[in-house]
Amino acid sequence: MNWLKIVAFAAVTVAVLPILFLLFEGLGPLRDPAGYGPQVFSSILLTIVSSAIAVGIEVVVFTPAAYYFARNPNSVLETVSDLPASVPHPIIGVALLLIDSPLTPTGKFLDSLGINFFDTLTGLVVALVVISTPVYIKAVEPFFASMNESHESFAKGLGASELRTYASVVIPNSLRGVLSASLISLSRSMSEFGSIAIIAYSVFSVYPAPVLIYQYFSSTGLSPAITASAVMILVGLALMAALRVVNAKLVIRP
C-alpha cells in the first residue's frame, strides 16, 4: 500500500506544482501592483456572484434531472446532457450569440422581452449554467443512486405523490450530495473562459476574472497576469475551504 501512497502524492504534486509555482512567483519575485488593484477584486466579485447565481439555478432546475437519471438510467438523455462539456467552449458562446441575435426568431422574441445576452450579467450567468450543468449532474447523480430507496417506497406506499416524495423525502436526505455537487459546479463556473470571452467579455464595464487575466496577458504584460492569477487562486481556495467547512458542519449525513 505504501507504493500507492507514494504514487498518489507524486501525482498530486505534479498536478498542483504549476499552481504552487505561480503562487510563489505572483506573490513574490514577479508581484505587480496592477495584479491586486481594485479592478482585480471587482472582477473576482463579478465572477463569484455570477457563478453562485448559476449554481443556484442548477440546483433548482437540474437536481430533478439528476435524480431522474439515477432512478431511470437513460443513456441517450445522459449523453445529450453531457454535450456542453464535450464541445469547445467558444462554441457555446457562439451558440448563445446566435440565440440572442435579432436575425433569429429566438433573438427577436428575447428582445421583445427586454432580454439581452451580449455583455450582460444575464448572458454571463446563462453561459455558466450551460457549461457547468453537466458537471453538476454528474456530481450529484451518484449520490442519488447510492441512496436507500426504501424511504421513497414507504412514502409512496402511504399515498404520497412522486412530487411530494421528491420534495419531502429525497431532497432533505440529499442535502450533502447537492451541496458537494454545488461546490464542484461553482469551481467549474469560476474557471470558465471560452464561452464568456465571446458572450460576456465585459459586464458593467467589469471583466470576469478569467477574461481580465487574459486581458492583462495580451495587452499589459505577463507580471500583472501572474499576480492577478495568484490572487484569484487564493480567493478561490479560501471560498472553497469556507464552503466545505459549512458542508461538514451544517449538513448531517443521512
Q: Does pLDDT of 115 surpass 80?
A: yes
Predicted confidence at residue 249, as pLDDT, reads 65
- For residue 55 the three cell numbers come to 449554481
> Does a structural domain hold residue 26?
no
Q: Domain with 130 in it: what CATH number?
A: 1.10.3720.10
Q: Is the pLDDT of residue 18 over 70?
A: yes
Distances (CA, A) of 136 to 125, 130, 154: 15, 11, 28
136-183 pLDDT, tens digit each: 999 999 888 888 878 778 777 777 788 888 888 888 888 888 988 898
Which pLDDT does position 2 carry in this prediction? 82
How many other CB atoms are there within 10 angstroms of residue 31's CB atom? 16
pLDDT above 70 for 250: no
Mean of the pLDDT values across residues 229-239?
88
Instruction: Tell me what percent of the residues of the chain surpass a pLDDT of 90.
Output: 46
CA distance 19 to 70: 35
Domain count of the chain?
1
pLDDT category at 65 given cuts 50, 70, 90 is: very high
Q: Three-state DSSP class for 203? A: strand
159: in domain: yes
Range of the domain at 41: 36-250
Residue reference for cell 506573490 = 27
Q: Is residue 24 part of a domain?
A: no
pLDDT in the model for residue 208:
95
21 in any annotated domain = no
Judge whether 106 lies within some domain: yes
| pLDDT attached to residue 99 | 94
Indicate whether 254 pLDDT > 50.
no
Answer whether residue 47 is part of any domain: yes
Q: CA 24 → CA 5, 28, 34, 55, 229, distances in Å? A: 26, 6, 17, 31, 11
Flag whether 221 is in a domain. yes
